[in-house]
Amino acid sequence: ALGLLPSWFRRWAEKERAILGLLEDYPQFPALTSHYGNFLAQVARFDEAVAMQERTISKWPFMPGPPNQLMGALCGAGRLVEAEARSEKSLRRWPRHPVVWYARMSLLTYSGRADAALALAADRANHPRGIEQEISAMVATARALASRSAADIEVAVTENLRSVRDNIRNVPEALHLFTALGDRDRSFDVIHAYLFRSGPLATGANPLTPFSPVQTETLFHPYNRILWPDPRFSAITRKIGLDAYWKSIDFVPAFRR
């Protein structure tokens, strides 16, 4: 518990040492391998994250979290056909699990199939419970990207900004909308609100603590590639310590190759 609880944010090398030390003693413990796979995705080591989540699933086949994290790692690695197959399999097994359903909606929406996402959302009997607000924002997003009408886009932007203000942890999904719309400035606004609790969208965000879960994986997904050449993106990876971490392990993330 002491090894897993602290956040990895801005303490990447320290966190990895703690996990690897535990894995030496418990190499097959799936809670550890899943956690390490999740960590690897946060630092853009996606191929290694895939291997670690596959190892987890071999020991923990009926837990929905690792397959969903595997799908995200496959997306980050650019292995979209495999991500699609994993997403379909997970949805068949856990059709109303909130994380599985939401990930399926996201994959459909941002892989050019917003109409298919809307069809999935139209099956209200199979909506997961407890994430009604997130569903509303996701449906608005899919509708905006399907129609590209000014009215639908305005609704989607409003819904996503409301979602962020109500729960700062919804930033990764809002970020996908803004990059899909080509809105770099607002994209960086939500990133700064999430990672640094600063900027115009940070109002009401809980302060970060050593235990706050912070997800950086999505920054390096192909959905957000329009941000990578922007100097503001390099400033972010430098500020949160990822540049120093990558240099320490002699690793060049795919988005810089």
146 vs 156: CA distance, rounded Å: 12
Structure tokens belonging to residue 225: 């590639």
pTM above 0.85, yes or no: yes
Least confident piece of the model among 56-60, 102-106, 113-117, 131-135: 131-135
Contacts for 86 with CB less than 8 Å, ≥ 6 apart: 67, 70, 71, 74
Q: pLDDT tens for residues 193-248? A: 999 999 999 988 899 999 999 999 999 999 899 999 999 999 999 999 999 999 99
Q: What is the pLDDT of residue 20?
A: 97
pLDDT in tens, 210-224: 999 999 999 999 989
Q: Is residue 134 predicted with pLDDT exceeding 80?
A: yes
Work out the average pLDDT over 145-169.
Answer: 94
Confidence of residue 132 (pLDDT cuts 50, 70, 90): confident
| 156: number of Cβ within 10 Å | 25
**Is residue 26 pLDDT above 80, yes or no?**
yes
User: Which amino acid is present at 15?
Assistant: K
The rounded Cα 119 to chain-centroid distance in angstroms is 23
